[in-house]
Amino acid sequence: MERNSLARNAEIAYVVLILATAGVIWGEASALPPALYDALGPKAFPLGVSGAMALLGGIMLLRIFTGRSLGQSGQMMMPGLDEPTSGHAWRPWIAVTVLVLAFCYAIALTSRSIGFLAATAAYLFSAGIVLGRPGQRRLVATAVFAVAAAVVLDTLFKRFFSLDLP
Amino acid sequence: MTLADAFIHLMTPQSFAIVAAGVALGVSVGVLPGITAGMLMALTLPFTYHMSSIEAVSLLISMFVGGVSGGLITATLMRIPGEPNSIMTCLDGYQLARRGQPGRALGLGNSSSLVGGTVSWGALVLLAPPLAGIAVAFGPFENFAVILLALILISSLSEGSFLKGLSAGLLGMLVSYPGIDESSGIMRLTFGIAELEGGFNSLPVILGMFAVSQVVADALNIETNENPIQATLRGIFISVSDYLKHGWNMLRSSLIGVWIGILPGVGATVASIVAYTTAKNFSRSPEAFGGGSEEAIVAAESANNATTGGTLVPILTLGISGGLTDSILLGALVIHNLQPGPLLFKNNPEIVNTIFATHLVAHLVMFAFMTFGIGLFARLMGVPRAYILPMIIVFSVLGAFGLNNRAFDIWVMLSFGLLGVLLEFARVPLAPFVVGLVLAPVAESELRAGLMASGGSFMPLIERPVSAIMLALSACLFAWPFVRAWREAPASLVASKE
């Protein structure tokens, strides 16, 4: 997917998210009881903010469909999202894999069946392999790093910080 | 014990070692995303039972100072706020480091932190009681007006994408609403999810928005340069001319930090945002902000360190705290049978003076530590991302989980990570989201408390001088970017015709 069309699709997804969130919050807030102790009550702010958000979402949607720009933050800090930059490789599937691995890691931890040590070592190894360059030496180095880091973290947080790790 | 005695006491080997250890630990956790100084202090509290009150207070204050300062390193080298208050440093510190000047970026940040800390120490020692008196004299309408002022800055932050910035700010506000409504005790916007009854904790949300989105973005568009940016230490020692050049910015941002630090519930994150935006609005080259501006780094780092002194003012003089870290400090005093508030000055002047002295000494130790030890941290740039990025996820998971020992917070963190990725792709600024998230609950509770007191009348907002001035200032700051754009438009038209 071209980067410009990706950004445009992301803008549309963002506007849809804004409108959907505003709608859901408006619906939920409307069902709240009226104010008992003060002039505003528990639903005034959620209703007001979701209403304003819906208005902004509508304006943004209108601008998108009429082909007008929504503007672009002057503070986007991520290089290369708009156009290719030298010294960077565009690797969408690796990014998706990294995200999937993070969720797998969270599942492994929250299920509490594997344990922090094994789950962390496995995650660091798999993510390191996905992100790193291929090669047998790299494979061994990543494995050593993954096991060592997991052991150090496990010891540090269990023994020194007495944290009940997942 | 006088203040001079307290300084002398801190120079004894054991006391100095406690301060140095506290700063070192604070900076270390400040560097690690997701592990905050507040968490470190909470974990350390049980160990302070075995210490004297003076030693315990010294250790915790040193951790507090180190934690606020350490976030600079991660923000500059990795564009991830090690501490939430380093958000604004991410914007320009990272860009300057990417341009091959990590030493310069870190040196400016470190020096600004020292100046901010020193100015706030002066405020703490000399102005604490009267300043606290003024802040406490504020009613809810004044507090609401102050918060509104900060919220209005969202539009300034998102200059160039007003719609996106404002909508992100509103989205952040909505995220803050689920849970128990403090004014009425009614549960709202929980959608039947039991874990939402306590609301979203801001730490997992911020970790997800910044850390996870950064990891995904780096994985997506990873550097392939065979020779990664060399972390040079050139520029880490700031010259006198640099201090002169940035002196006014440092002082102004420090004063902003001190003042916002005093206000309960606002804190260092907002201080750095306000100082950053103020510096941008007054800058001769505002277009450089976001692209590695030195002014921006100076403003953000002066302000967030300056809040450390300001934050201590209401704790010491009134016994009230405004945030998580302050609350832990407050709790530590109570645990050690000390009564925070005006009586502390009367009954335990040695504790007050120890806090005053530690605050300054910890900043000096922090400066030395981060100047001479920063070279080691700077080498993080050379460590393969294949090792760093997964470690960031692990620390973020630990940070989110460790807060309440809840698996739910891990999912919150990852979910908001996905949202952060979407926002980055859609070129929506993340900072307004965080501002909305942090300030919305305070704004609501203050306005509702004010309306209860006024019988439902909004008139005090414009009748009371302080709130009226704040509202007027809000209006001016809101209009300022438009006015500047309008003033610049004719010039650009002439340029395009030529």
Q: Which residue has the tokens 């080691």?
A: B376
The string of pLDDT tens digits covering residues B37-88 is: 766 676 676 567 678 888 988 999 999 898 888 878 877 877 766 666 777 8
Q: What φ, ψ does residue B337 adopt, rounded to 5°?
A: 60, 35
The residue that leads in pLDDT, A25 or B405, is A25
Is B493 contained in some domain? no
% residues pLDDT > 90 (chain B):
14
The reply to whether A84 touches chain B by the CB within 8 Å rule is no
Q: What is the pLDDT of residue B73?
A: 81
Q: Number of structural domains, chain B?
A: 1
Residue contact A95–B414, C-beta within 8 A: no
**Chain A residues touching residue B43 (CB < 8 angstroms):** 161-163
Q: What is the pLDDT of residue B381?
A: 52
The string of pLDDT tens digits covering residues B371-385 is: 888 767 656 555 677
Number of CB atoms found within 10 A of residue B201's CB: 18
Is B170 contained in some domain? yes
The residue that leads in pLDDT, A75 or B340, is B340
End-to-end CA distance of chain B: 72
Q: Any residues with CB less than 8 A from the CB of A68 and at least 6 apart, and which?
A: none
How far is B205 from B207, CA to CA, in rounded Å?
5
**Chain A residues touching residue B154 (CB < 8 angstroms):** none
Contact A78, A84 (CB under 8 A): no
**SS3 at position B486:** helix
How far is B447 from B51, CA to CA, in rounded Å?
43
Q: What φ, ψ does residue A88 adopt, rounded to 5°?
A: -125, 145
Tokens of B194: 């039991």
Closest CA to B225 of A30, A85, A166, A130: A85
Q: ipTM of the predicted structure?
A: 0.90
The reply to whether A47 touches chain B by the CB within 8 Å rule is no
Contact B318, B132 (CB under 8 A): yes
How far is A113 from A109, CA to CA, in rounded Å?
8
Is B299 contained in some domain? yes
The reply to whether A134 touches chain B by the CB within 8 Å rule is no
Q: What is the pLDDT of residue A89?
A: 64
Please say if the pLDDT value at position B348 is more than 60.
yes
Biggest CA-to-CA distance, chain A:
69
The reply to whether B212 touches chain A by the CB within 8 Å rule is yes
Domain boundaries defined on chain A? 3-65, 92-160
Is B495 contained in some domain? no
Mean pLDDT of B394-419: 85
DSSP string, B120-147: HHHIIIIIHHHHHHHHHH--HHHHHHHH
Confidence of residue B28 (pLDDT cuts 50, 70, 90): confident
Closest CA to B320 of B467, B133, B118: B133
The residue that leads in pLDDT, A74 or B357, is B357
Amino acid at B243: Y
Please say if the pLDDT value at position B239 is more than 50.
yes
Is B492 contained in some domain? no
Q: Which helix (H) or strand (E) holds B81?
A: none
The reply to whether A154 touches chain B by the CB within 8 Å rule is no
Q: What is the pLDDT of residue A75?
A: 46
pTM, full prediction: 0.69
Residue contact B215–A98, C-beta within 8 A: yes
Q: Are strands B179-180 and B187-188 parallel, antiparallel or unpaired?
A: antiparallel
Please compute, for residue B438, the number of CA atoms within 13 A of its CA located in the half-sphere on the CB side.
Answer: 27
The residue that leads in pLDDT, B58 or B220, is B58
Domain that holds residue B455: 3-486
Q: What φ, ψ does residue A87 adopt, rounded to 5°?
A: 85, 10
Confidence of residue A82 (pLDDT cuts 50, 70, 90): low
Please say if the pLDDT value at position B228 is more than 50.
no
